Amino acid sequence: MLHLRVFVSSDRADVAIETLRGIDGLHDLVHLPQVEIEHGDDLLTAAVEPTAANEVVERMRDLRIER
The mean per-residue pLDDT over the stretch 13-36 comes to: 96
Q: Is the pLDDT of residue 3 over 70?
A: yes
Q: Which helix (H) or strand (E) holds 58?
A: helix 53-62
22 vs 39: CA distance, rounded Å: 27
Q: Which whole number is the average pLDDT over 16-22?
A: 96
Q: Whose CA is closest to 58, among 25, 30, 27, 23?
A: 23
Reported pTM: 0.89
pLDDT at 67: 64
pLDDT at residue 1 is higher than 70: yes
Give residue 25's pLDDT: 97
Burial class (CB in 10 A: 0-12, 13-18, 19+), 63: middle
